Structure 1
Amino acid sequence: MDRLSLVLLHAFPVDARMWNEVREPLVQRTRLITPDQRGLGRTALPETDREPSLDDAARDVLALLDKLELDQVILGGCSLGGYVTLAVLRAAPERIGGLVLIDTKATADGEEARRARLEMADRAEAEGISGWLADAMLPKVLGETTRRTKTDLADQIRELVEAQPAAGVAWAQRAMAARPDATDVVREAHVPALVVVGEEDTVTPPEAARELAGALPDATLTVLPGVGHLTPLEDPDGVAKAILDWLP
């Protein structure tokens, strides 16, 4: 992994600003690239008749690597960003020299979770997201300790959520609902991997992280205490330290 750039993909429903607090320590050691994903942040949602698929999000990442003339990178992400990372791994494993998988999993959604995503996508398109999406998401993505002790952070994340375009929110939810199980891809990932999870994550809990790390041939698992699903926002120092300790 020597001298490879680090590309980190953000979670849903926020954008690349979620990495702001981990950026400074990481750039002391590596080139860090944190794009907004399609339809979120400053990246437009392309006009297409194609059904939403994380395969298209993966192609966006590969196009970015081509534009930056990066043959191989350490690729990772949080939640949605992890799902896209695994889609890239499926499409072009030769472009990945290491994996950083944060609060994510390799398995597909169950029927109930899939249905909830599609309902949220329909509502975002019909009503927009103002006034309800952040209220729906914050109790799920923030750990109990964070909700109790870091009200300013909850307000910050609310602003990030409410800044996202409704069409991008809907696209991402439909793409995640359609994603396949990636356990087979993970088992063939013969590159160093770091798996990070919040101890209070109820979306992709520590048990899922242990399962993911166990499926990877060469994985290091870090469980961060007192935080939930958005560890780069809830405990940026812990995430940065985990990555820096793992990097060669």
Structure 2
Amino acid sequence: MTVQLYARDVGSGTPLVLLHAFPLSSAMWLEQRQGLAGRFRVITPDLRGFGGSRLGDDEPSIDAMADDVARVFRDQGVRRAVVGGLSMGGYVAMALCRRHPELVIGLVLAGTRAAPDTETVRENRLRQAEALDGDAGVRVLVDEVLPGLVGPTTMRQRALVYGRVRGLVQATPPRAAAWAQRAMAARPDSFDTLRELRVPTLVMVGDEDALATEDEARAMADAAPDSELLVMPRAGHLCAVEQPDLFNQAVAEFTAALARTAKESPDGAARPRG
């Protein structure tokens, strides 16, 4: 079935579509909306089942989530945008590049992975999905997923940030989280998608990220033809939430450079910088 996503849409200028991490919602992008809307049109959808978006009854699929985001472009009147995704949002962003490449003028991948799950990780996701379908609500997310979302520096020094992330995890609808875990467990390898990209790519990773490592980020940057890698200090998996000023600065510079290139080219398309 067709699911219409709820999306926050603020600011004006070059469109910047940001896709949230699991198991959060577009609420995680609060400081990006505040920090970037003065220069860009920032659109932050709730992926299906999360926040204000309905889940629908499709089979769990990252491709279905990417098609949902493509409909957001149409619904919001956006022809092309810089697309950024963190963690699960990165999986959806790469699927969008594979299925709807004409929509993307630049790609930001943060705290995410192009490789499919190992068998161990896949089995763990499916076990958690079963638990989420049970009577315990989101306890499995609080006990097992939350500890890996932020780095040790945030745990020690940023109690308010950790508390905010914990609140977002606790607000997750269990059915949506179970659906998303099954979708992520079934996702394909995305390295071919990265190799075939015709747009610039910015890869970011926190230096304390234990879920998507610096080596994995470097492998993605190496695969994409026109890419740069930024390792963010004192940040774990949710680098945009833990280090919002550094994240916003990097995304703003990347997006502004693409906007200039698009303005200078005859067909309005961004050109590779390399």
TM band (smaller chain): over 0.9
Taking the aligned partners of 2:225 and 2:50, their CA distance within structure 1 comes to: 33
For residue 56 of structure 2, what is the aligned residue in structure 1? 46
Taking the aligned partners of 2:253 and 2:158, their CA distance within structure 1 comes to: 26
AA partner of residue 29 (structure 1): R
For residue 194 of structure 1, what is the aligned residue in structure 2? 202
**Post-superposition CA distance 1:80-107 (Å, at most 9, x none):** 0000001111101111110011111111
2:72 aligns with one of 64, 73, 79: 64
Q: Which has the higher contact order (CA 8 A, sep 6+)?
A: 1
Taking the aligned partners of 2:83 and 2:178, their CA distance within structure 1 comes to: 25
**Post-superposition CA distance 1:31-70 (Å, at most 9, x none):** 000010001111110124xx21111101100111111222
For residue 18 of structure 2, what is the aligned residue in structure 1? 8
- Scaled by the length of structure 1, the TM-score of the pair is 0.95
Superposition pairs of residues 69-88 of structure 1, within 5 angstroms: 69-88=77-96
Q: Quick one: percent identity of the two aligned structures?
A: 43
For residue 182 of structure 1, what is the aligned residue in structure 2? 190
Asked if the contact 1:138–1:154 (Cα under 8 Å) also holds between the matched residues in 2, the reply is no
Deviation at 1:193, TM superposition (A): 1.0
Asked if the contact 1:8–1:33 (Cα under 8 Å) also holds between the matched residues in 2, the reply is yes
For residue 29 of structure 1, what is the aligned residue in structure 2? 39
Taking the aligned partners of 2:170 and 2:42, their CA distance within structure 1 comes to: 26
Deviation at 1:128, TM superposition (A): 4.1
Query: Considering only aligned residues, what root-mean-square deviation do their CA atoms show, in Å?
Result: 1.2
**Post-superposition CA distance 1:176-232 (Å, at most 9, x none):** 000000100100101011111100001001111111111111112111101100011
For residue 250 of structure 2, what is the aligned residue in structure 1? 242
AA partner of residue 143 (structure 2): D
AA partner of residue 47 (structure 1): D
**Post-superposition CA distance 1:1-27 (Å, at most 9, x none):** xx5311000000000011101222211
AA partner of residue 153 (structure 2): T
Taking the aligned partners of 1:129 and 1:209, their CA distance within structure 2 comes to: 33
Q: Can you give the 5+ residue segments of structure 2 that lack an aligned partner in the other structure? A: 1-12, 258-274
Asked if the contact 2:22–2:88 (Cα under 8 Å) also holds between the matched residues in 1, the reply is yes
Asked if the contact 2:111–2:239 (Cα under 8 Å) also holds between the matched residues in 1, the reply is yes
For residue 28 of structure 2, what is the aligned residue in structure 1? 18
How many residues matched? 244
Asked if the contact 1:196–1:223 (Cα under 8 Å) also holds between the matched residues in 2, the reply is yes
- Scaled by the length of structure 2, the TM-score of the pair is 0.86
Which stretch of the first structure deviates more once superposed, 67-76 or 128-137?
128-137
Asked if the contact 2:128–2:140 (Cα under 8 Å) also holds between the matched residues in 1, the reply is no
Aligned in 2, Cα 1:150/1:78: closer, same or farther, shift over 3 Å? same
Taking the aligned partners of 1:75 and 1:153, their CA distance within structure 2 comes to: 24
For residue 160 of structure 1, what is the aligned residue in structure 2? 168
Q: Secondary structure at the match of 1:241?
A: helix
For residue 229 of structure 1, what is the aligned residue in structure 2? 237
Which stretch of the first structure deviates more once superposed, 132-141 or 106-115?
132-141
Asked if the contact 1:129–1:162 (Cα under 8 Å) also holds between the matched residues in 2, the reply is no
Asked if the contact 1:4–1:97 (Cα under 8 Å) also holds between the matched residues in 2, the reply is no
AA partner of residue 21 (structure 2): A
Q: Does 1:172 align with 2:180?
A: yes
2:103 aligns with one of 95, 99, 103: 95
Asked if the contact 1:4–1:73 (Cα under 8 Å) also holds between the matched residues in 2, the reply is yes
